[in-house]
Amino acid sequence: MRLEDLLYSQGFGTRRVCAGLVQQGLVTVGGEPVTDAGLDVQPEGLHFTVQGKAWEYHAPAYVMLHKPAGTECSQKPSTWPSIYTLLPAPLRQRPQKGPVQGVQAVGRLDQDTTGLLLLTDDGKFIHRMSSPRHHVPKVYEVTVKHPLDDRQVQRLLQGVVLDDDPKPVAAAACEAVADHHLRLTLTEGKYHQVKRMVAAVGNRVEGLHRSRIGGLALPADLPPGQWRWLSAADLASITG
């Protein structure tokens, strides 16, 4: 692949901008400065720098973000900063493949929810993960206002009726980890689902954190606000 095309595919700007970056000596490949924008490079696994910043070739892009509280999962947030401001420009500017440019969140978390969020520019992956047929379990660590009792846990497991659907929704797994800490596993992603289910059993969510999607856990060493590429093994572990 021509170097300028590779840079373009990774979100470094138009082809002309990418060619300019190389010609101005702002790009290194495998540690060596390069000035030929037409240089033929092998994209898979390529490490390069642009204006001193290290980058890896990924097509498509799959990343995880540790979503901090006080951020919205929207490109056009209404009140809080967008999670997209936490990502570097190339991830946000990758050329348009489907209807949207750059990586997109796979589902949404509420403004005050923290934890594991996936983003990708693979539209098919987003579609698969959002399909109710797919049933990827998501684990939430829930801090509740009132002490938990066994009845609440049993009701969440048996199913509760929410206001927008007469069909009950049940937790795939649910355990009281401590008096005020519930671990809840859901396989669907209805609007405010955890908060509404917990309210339906007479309690109240005071803190919500997503710790796991399928077999992929939020790494303990990824601080809030930070992102990381997903490895092939991470990707495989999501759907088991």
The two beta strands, 114-120 and 205-213, are: parallel
Asked whether 132 and 165 are in contact (CB, 8 A), the reply is no
Asked whether 37 and 19 are in contact (CB, 8 A), the reply is yes
Q: What share of the chain is helix, strand, coil (3-state, %, to 5)?
A: 25, 30, 45
208 lies in the binding site for ligand URA (CB under 6 A): yes
The DSSP H or E segment spanning 56 is strand 53-56
Q: How many residues bind ligand URA (CB under 6 A)?
A: 8
Task: Give counts: helices (H), strands (E), the chain.
Answer: 7, 15
At closest approach, how far in Å is the CB of 225 from ligand URA? 17
183 lies in the binding site for ligand URA (CB under 6 A): no
Active site annotation includes 179 = no
Residue with Cβ nearer ligand URA (141 or 234): 141
Residue with Cβ nearer ligand URA (124 or 204): 204
109 lies in the binding site for ligand URA (CB under 6 A): yes
In whole angstroms, give the CA distance from residue 175 to residue 214. 17
Among 10, 113, 120, 203, binds ligand URA (CB under 6 A): 113
The one segment of 6-14, 123-131, 162-170, 188-196 that binds ligand URA by CB under 6 A:
188-196
Residue with Cβ nearer ligand URA (34 or 172): 172
Among 15, 128, 183, 195, binds ligand URA (CB under 6 A): 195
192 lies in the binding site for ligand URA (CB under 6 A): yes
Q: Helix 150-158 crosses helix 193-200 at what angle (to 10 degrees)?
A: 120
Residue with Cβ nearer ligand URA (63 or 169): 169
Residue with Cβ nearer ligand URA (6 or 142): 142
The DSSP H or E segment spanning 27 is strand 27-29
At closest approach, how far in Å is the CB of 183 from ligand URA? 13
Q: How far is CA 204 from CA 133, 142, 154, 195, in A?
A: 29, 10, 16, 7
110 lies in the binding site for ligand URA (CB under 6 A): yes
> Which of 5, 36, 40, 110 does the annotation list as catalytic?
110
Q: How far is CA 211 from CA 11, 113, 140, 225, in A?
A: 29, 11, 6, 15
Residues binding ligand URA (CB under 6 A): 109-110, 113, 192-195, 208
Report, as residue numbers or ranges, the catalytic residues: 110
